[in-house]
Structure 1
Amino acid sequence: MNQPILDTVTAETTPRAQGFAMPAEFAPHDACWMLWPQRPDTWRYGAKPAQQAFAEVACAIAESETVFVGVNDDQYENARNQLPAHIRVVELSSNDAWMRDMGPTFLTHPDGRLAMVDWVFNAWGGLKGGLYFPWDKDKRIRTKIAEMLGIPRFEAPVVLEGGAIHVDGEGTLLTTEECLLNPNRNPGMSRDEMEQVLGDTLGIDKVIWLPRGCHLDETDGHVDNLCCFVAPGQVALTWCDDDADPQAAISREALAVLEAATDARGRPLTVHKLPQPGPLYIAEDEASGLDRLNSSHPRQPGDRMAGSYVNFYIGNSVVVMPFLDPAHDEAAWGILQGLFPDKQVVGVPAREILLGGGNIHCITQQQPKAPRA
């Protein structure tokens, strides 16, 4: 059903005022959206190793729901031949492949309608610490998907990436001050002002602010690499026991906030700790094969990567998690399988994705199933 595209939002026309809200990731999906990697200053060796990793993620999710992969025209034939026929390849140009952040945040309505939020995107900081320039193609992705699906698109007045937020579908949102209140995103904006925008746009009632994201996360502290909802009242948190590792203090700090918090319905939170992989560092051979451009984030041998098992995707019948460290993969898999007993937890080798700066949650975006009218 085609619906009008909404380009301006007033107090009376906010998504919340119209009855829309963002559902939890663990709610039912109609589809998952991804993008195809090809950027030569992000992905080594012409992105061929990354393309293989992305294809494995797409195939794992496609066991659970329809998967759309957006591809630049010059990579369309390559992607179509690498991906199985049941994965839908569509021409959707981008500057890079992080669909969680440049793609839409979907909303649902109790009457069965679907809509999306079009946040302002500035490549994780714009000209003050952003990861590349330009990002003109990325900014058009949400508009294009809205046109493809024939759904309303609400333009939001703040810079925000999808990886910066996680919701429980019952009125609670997780985020970090490091990201959403960063001067390179929304300078001068207060917590109260941001909470008002989040409430009006996503239909949430309470924001739980964690101070920081994972150590050296180049997204300026996206919450989806540190902590996420796995069910109402339950969160997974990346954990480090080594006091000499800067991540240990970040995780303890987050735990203190979470244990003192209640959700929008007044429930205390149960925190499930996921061990941190590594620490993981870029090897000499992994830093080779990249184009070196002044307009993009440098990736050097010895740089620490912000690896995290929390960066997984919750599908209808599967949970797709990154395998990053043989010393911890099995333990992390076991914890997640215990948290999702009704789903199959699938581990995908994901170091190539991490080398680009993110992981499985970062390259995916769920399209929720709208409730029946």
Structure 2
Amino acid sequence: MNRPFLPAEWEEQAFIQLTWPHKETDWNYMLDEVEECYINIAREILSRERLIVVTPEPEHVEQVLAKAGICLDNLTLVKIETNDTWARDHAFITTIDEDGNAMLNDFCFNGWGMKFAANLDNQINKKLMKEDLLQGKYVSRLNFVLEGGSIESDSDGTLLTTAECLLSDNRNDTLSREEIEKYLKSAFHVEKVLWIENGFLEGDDTDSHIDTLARLCPDNTIVYVKCNDKDDIHYSALKAMEDELFQFTNCRGEHYRLLPLPFPDAVYDENDERLPATYANFLIMNGAVLCPVYNQEENDKEALKVLKSAFPDHEIIGIDCSPLIRQHGSLHCITMQYPKCVQK
């Protein structure tokens, strides 16, 4: 009998979920611009695997995708009311039991520590289950606050996360670090939790989600953001994070192969506030990796090169995510993958 586990993102997938922007979200002031970004992402997903789109306006989404000339054979639209669009953090986190069956874990999403409204988004998973699209057992974990962007798995017993996020106020602050680690090991069937104590991105609302800083990759590899500018506000914290990564080992006691991603040139919004641009927020799909790019020729090119080294058998595709960082997220933040066993 196999052991239960939390699959890595590079395991074979059934589909990817997007939660589509609309006029009642914070995207309203730039809806056309961000929707074009979603269309570009949907095009790449639909050419390779199924896509489920959660939206209060399914007819509109179907129309704009068809108008863009995209084949809709792999598309499923589900009409559900939403607060916002950050599927990575409100969607199911799927584990696989010892018999190979999907366990659809529904954690509490509270708007990153009650910073933003999440009353509708926190109900999406239960409503999605009623649509009979997912094969798996529903597991309520609504007594524990956790976002998908805060954890990384290697499928082999190791979980990577950040102390800044998981130990933050207004999430699970009644629990100690030891209690939270015990819960993570039990819920995700892991033997080892690697806690990053350093690293941040200015403008980030998530309290340093791991998927903005460092990502587990195949063959015992970690790609991570590295800042070389000693005058940049991020330099010291990211250097300290790098030092931590060099000390980390997996469950077998092996050190990781580390691949540094470039640090994007500073990007600012209309109020001159710095935005959390990062190349670490990439999405792994069946046969491809979608990498966020920011119209920075040299940095974008280097990021794609690093990811090709980490995923030599995948096609590496850059997606302009300049619109996404205007709301302080990027490509990985708006997507959630589901493993093959969830396929009906």
Q: Which residue of 1 aligns with 2:111?
A: 123
Query: For residues 203-227 of structure 1, what are the alpha-carbon distances to aligned partners after superposition, in whole Å with 9 as ceiling and x for unaligned?
Result: 1111110114432211111010000
Judge which range, 29-38 or 324-333, deviates more.
324-333
TM-fit CA distance, 1:158: 1.7
Counterpart contact for 1:39–1:46, Cα < 8 Å: no
Q: Which residue of 1 aligns with 2:119?
A: 136
Q: 1:265 to 1:56 in 2, by over 3 A?
A: same
Query: For residues 227-263 of structure 1, what are the alpha-carbon distances to aligned partners after superposition, in whole Å with 9 as ceiling and x for unaligned?
Result: 0111142111011101111222222111111111111
Query: For residues 299-334 of structure 1, what are the alpha-carbon distances to aligned partners after superposition, in whole Å with 9 as ceiling and x for unaligned?
Result: xx1110111001000011110011112341111111
Q: Which residue of 2 aligns with 1:309?
A: 279
C-alpha distance in 2, partners of 1:202/1:180?
15
Query: For residues 28-49 of structure 1, what are the alpha-carbon distances to aligned partners after superposition, in whole Å with 9 as ceiling and x for unaligned?
Result: 1111111101255621535111
Map 1:353-368; keep pairs closer than 5 Å. Answer: 353-368=324-339
Residue number among 77, 92, 101 corresponding to 2:80 in the alignment? 92
C-alpha distance in 1, partners of 2:259/2:290?
18
Counterpart contact for 2:14–2:342, Cα < 8 Å: no
TM-fit CA distance, 1:342: 0.7
Q: Which residue of 1 aligns with 2:64?
A: 82
Amino acid at match of 1:107: T
Amino acid at match of 1:80: E
TM-fit CA distance, 1:112: 2.9
Runs of 4+ in 1 over 4 A off after TM superposition: none
Q: 1:40 to 1:94 in 2, by over 3 A?
A: closer
**Is 1:166 the equivalent of 2:149?**
no
C-alpha distance in 2, partners of 1:214/1:276?
12
Instruction: List alignment gaps of at least 5 residues for structure 1.
Output: 1-17, 285-300
For residue 169 of structure 1, give the secondary structure of its aligned residue in structure 2: coil
**Is 1:251 the equivalent of 2:238?**
yes
Residue number among 192, 201, 205 corresponding to 2:191 in the alignment? 205
For residue 281 of structure 1, give the secondary structure of its aligned residue in structure 2: coil
**Is 1:274 the equivalent of 2:245?**
no
Q: 1:213 to 1:38 in 2, by over 3 A?
A: farther
Q: Which residue of 1 aligns with 2:12?
A: 28
C-alpha distance in 1, partners of 2:318/2:27?
21
C-alpha distance in 1, partners of 2:182/2:148?
17
Q: 1:244 to 1:96 in 2, by over 3 A?
A: same
Counterpart contact for 1:26–1:314, Cα < 8 Å: yes
TM-fit CA distance, 1:150: 4.6
For residue 319 of structure 1, give the secondary structure of its aligned residue in structure 2: strand
Counterpart contact for 1:53–1:349, Cα < 8 Å: yes
Q: Which residue of 1 aligns with 2:139?
A: 154
C-alpha distance in 1, partners of 2:39/2:220?
33
C-alpha distance in 2, partners of 1:308/1:227?
10
C-alpha distance in 2, partners of 1:241/1:68?
39
Query: For residues 114-163 of structure 1, what are the alpha-carbon distances to aligned partners after superposition, in whole Å with 9 as ceiling and x for unaligned?
Result: 1211111110111xxx1x22x21111112123333252122223211110
C-alpha distance in 1, partners of 2:245/2:214?
10
TM-fit CA distance, 1:191: 1.8
TM-fit CA distance, 1:93: 2.3
What TM-score comes out, normalization by structure 2 length? Answer: 0.91
C-alpha distance in 2, partners of 1:39/1:210?
37
C-alpha distance in 2, partners of 1:120/1:187?
14
C-alpha distance in 1, partners of 2:325/2:197?
23
Count of aligned residue pairs for this structure pair = 331
Amino acid at match of 2:185: G
Residue number among 299, 312, 316 corresponding to 1:328 in the alignment? 299
Amino acid at match of 1:155: S
TM-fit CA distance, 1:108: 1.5
For residue 312 of structure 2, give the secondary structure of its aligned residue in structure 1: coil
C-alpha distance in 2, partners of 1:19/1:262?
21
What RMSD, in angstroms, separates the aligned Cα atoms of the two structures?
Answer: 1.9
Q: Which residue of 1 aligns with 2:173?
A: 187
Counterpart contact for 1:109–1:370, Cα < 8 Å: no
Give aligned-pair identity as a percent: 30
Q: 1:268 to 1:153 in 2, by over 3 A?
A: same
C-alpha distance in 1, partners of 2:127/2:5?
21
C-alpha distance in 2, partners of 1:95/1:212?
31
Q: Which residue of 2 aligns with 1:109?
A: 97
Counterpart contact for 1:29–1:366, Cα < 8 Å: yes
Instruction: List alignment gaps of at least 5 residues for structure 2.
Output: none
Counterpart contact for 1:40–1:47, Cα < 8 Å: no
